[in-house]
C-alpha cells in the first residue's frame, strides 16, 4: 500500500505554497486570538489569588496607615513656661496689627476699638494693690 | 528546531496560531494532499489546487478541535478525500452501480507490486487519470489509506460489491494500459 501511496503524491509549486500561506494567515491569527482568550479563561482561581494576595496586603496596609494618620490627634502644645504680662500681650496685639497697612489708618483702629473689649480676649489680670 | 517536532506537536502550535509550525506541516504533507486531489480530478492542476487550498484552510480551522493521536496524516487524507468528493458531488457525478458490475476481486491480485517494480510513477499516474471517473474515485480512495470497502461504498453512494467491482475493473484497466505503454 505504501508504494501505491507514493504514486498518489505530486509536488506543489512555490506559487501555490505562498498562495496557501497567504490564505491561512488570517485564520492562524484568529486561532492565536481564540487561544489567548481560552487561556485567559482557564487560569485557575488559585493562580489569580497568588497574584492578588500581595496586592491586597499592600492595599490593606496603606489603608490602615491612612486611617491611623487621619485619626491621630496633634500632641498638645507645651505650656508656656513664661507667663506673659498683660502689657506685653497688648503690645504684641498692636505690633501684629501694625504689620497690616489698614491698621495704620487711625479710623480703622478706632473702629476696632479698645483691644480690652475685643471678644475672646482673656480677662486682664489686675494688679494687686501693694500691701500697706 | 521545529522541524524535529511530530505532526501532533505541530498541530498544537497551529492551534496557538504558529505560522512556522503550519509551514512545516504543509511542506511535509502538501505533496500527499495535492497528489490525492490530482488523482481525483484526473490531473487537473487548477481544480486540485483549489481543493488542496480548501483542505489546508480546514486544517487550521479544525486545529482547535483536533485530538492528538499520532494519526495526523490519516486524518489529513480523510479531510482531503471528503473535500474532493464534495467537489465532485457539486458536479453531480453519481456512482450508480448495476447488478452486472458485481464482480469479486480475484485472490492473489498483485498489481501493486507489478506497478511499483515495472513502471515509472508518472506512467501510473497518467494511467489512473485516464480511468473512468467512478473507477478512479474508488481506486484513489482505496489507495489513499486504510479505508474499508464499506467506507468507500458510503462515500460513493454505492454497494460494497459495486465498490469491489469498480476496484477490480480499475486495476484491470491499469494493468492493460501499463502493459501497452
How far separated are the first and last CA of chain B, in Å rounded? 46
On chain B, the residues whose CB falls within 8 A of the CB of A12 are 30-31, 34, 49, 52
How would residue B56 be classed by pLDDT, with cut points 50, 70 and 90? very high
Question: Residue A11 is placed in which grid cell?
Answer: 509536488
On chain A, the residues whose CB falls within 8 A of the CB of B115 are 3-4, 7
Give the per-residue pLDDT at A48.
59
Give the per-residue pLDDT at B22.
95
Segment B18-48, tens digit of pLDDT = 999 999 999 999 998 998 899 888 888 999 9
Q: Output the domain CATH number for residue B78.
A: 1.10.1740.10
Closest CA to B25 of B8, B38, B37, B39: B8
Asked if residue B108 and residue B63 are part of one domain, the reply reads no
Sheet strands (E) in chain A: none
Q: What is the number of structural domains in chain B?
A: 2
Could you tell me the residue range of the domain that residue B67 belongs to? 2-90
Read off the pTM.
Answer: 0.58
Give the per-residue pLDDT at B140.
86
C-alpha–C-alpha distance, residues B130 and B53, integer Å = 24
C-alpha–C-alpha distance, residues B51 and B42, integer Å = 13
Taking residue B154's Cβ as centre, other Cβ atoms within 10 Å add up to: 13
Segment B71-120, tens digit of pLDDT = 888 889 889 988 988 888 777 554 544 444 444 444 444 556 555 555 56
Residue ending a domain, among B71, B90, B109, is B90
Residue ending a domain, among B90, B110, B143, is B90
Give the per-residue pLDDT at B101.
45
Question: Residue A19 is placed in which grid cell?
Answer: 498562495
On chain A, the residues whose CB falls within 8 A of the CB of B16 are 31-32, 35
Asked if residue B84 and residue B11 are part of one domain, the reply reads yes
Asked if residue B113 and residue B48 are part of one domain, the reply reads no
Q: Do B143 and A5 lie within an 8 Å CB cutoff? A: yes
Which among B38, B60, B112 has the least Cβ separation from residue A24?
B60
Asked if residue B56 and residue B9 are part of one domain, the reply reads yes
Which among B53, B64, B124 has the least Cβ separation from residue A19?
B53
Asked if residue B63 and residue B120 are part of one domain, the reply reads no
Asked if residue B164 and residue B134 are part of one domain, the reply reads yes
Asked if residue B164 and residue B105 are part of one domain, the reply reads yes
Asked if residue B27 and residue B7 are part of one domain, the reply reads yes
B39 CA: distance to closest CA in chain A (Å)? 7
- Burial group, residue B150, by CB count within 10 angstroms (0-12, 13-18, 19+): exposed
Asked if residue B105 and residue B55 are part of one domain, the reply reads no
Residue ending a domain, among B54, B73, B90, is B90
Q: Which ipTM score applies to this complex? A: 0.70
B17 neighbors A31 (Cβ within 8 angstroms) = yes
Q: Give the chain A residue nearest B65 (alpha carbons).
A: A31
Asked if residue B131 and residue B170 are part of one domain, the reply reads yes
Give the per-residue pLDDT at A47.
59
Q: Is A60 on the interface with B (CB under 8 A)?
A: no
C-alpha–C-alpha distance, residues B54 and B85, integer Å = 13
Q: Do A35 and B145 lie within an 8 Å CB cutoff? A: no
Question: Residue A114 is placed in which grid cell?
Answer: 479698645
Angle value at C-alpha B33, between B27 and B28, nearest 5 degrees: 20
In sequence order, the 6+-apart residues with CB closer than 8 A to the CB of A53 are none
Amino acid at each position: 500500500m505504501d508504494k501505491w501511496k507514493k504514486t498518489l503524491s505530486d509536488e506543489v509549486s512555490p506559487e501555490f505554497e505562498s498562495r496557501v500561506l497567504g490564505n491561512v494567515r488570517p485564520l492562524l491569527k484568529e486561532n492565536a486570538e481564540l487561544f489567548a482568550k481560552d487561556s485567559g479563561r482557564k487560569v485557575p482561581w488559585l493562580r489569580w489569588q497568588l497574584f492578588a494576595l500581595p496586592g491586597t496586603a499592600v492595599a490593606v496596609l496603606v489603608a490602615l496607615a491612612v486611617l491611623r494618620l487621619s485619626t491621630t490627634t496633634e500632641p498638645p502644645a507645651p505650656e508656656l513656661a513664661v507667663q506673659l504680662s498683660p502689657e506685653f500681650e497688648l503690645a504684641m496685639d498692636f505690633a501684629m496689627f501694625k504689620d497690616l497697612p489698614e491698621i495704620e489708618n487711625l479710623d480703622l483702629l478706632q473702629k476696632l476699638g479698645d483691644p480690652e473689649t475685643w471678644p475672646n480676649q482673656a480677662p486682664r489680670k489686675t494688679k494687686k494693690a501693694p500691701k500697706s | 528546531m521545529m522541524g524535529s517536532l511530530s505532526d501532533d506537536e505541530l498541530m498544537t502550535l497551529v492551534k496557538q496560531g504558529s505560522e512556522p509550525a503550519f509551514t512545516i506541516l504543509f511542506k511535509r504533507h502538501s505533496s500527499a494532499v495535492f497528489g490525492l486531489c490530482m488523482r481525483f480530478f484526473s490531473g487537473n492542476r487548477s481544480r486540485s489546487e483549489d481543493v488542496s487550498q480548501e483542505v489546508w484552510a480546514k486544517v487550521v480551522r479544525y486545529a482547535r478541535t483536533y485530538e492528538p493521536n499520532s494519526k495526523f496524516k490519516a486524518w489529513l487524507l480523510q479531510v482531503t478525500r471528503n473535500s474532493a468528493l464534495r467537489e465532485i458531488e457539486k458536479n453531480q457525478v453519481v456512482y450508480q452501480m448495476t447488478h452486472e458490475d458485481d464482480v469479486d476481486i480475484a485472490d492473489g491480485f498483485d498489481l501493486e507490486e507489478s506497478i511499483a517494480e515495472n513502471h515509472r510513477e508518472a506512467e501510473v499516474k497518467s494511467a489512473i487519470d485516464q480511468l473512468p471517473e467512478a473507477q478512479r474515485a474508488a481506486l484513489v480512495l482505496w489507495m489513499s489509506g486504510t479505508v474499508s470497502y464499506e467506507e468507500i461504498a458510503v462515500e460513493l453512494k454505492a454497494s460494497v460489491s459495486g465498490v469491489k467491482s469498480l476496484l477490480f475493473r480499475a486495476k484491470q484497466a491499469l494493468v492493460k494500459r501499463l502493459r501497452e505503454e
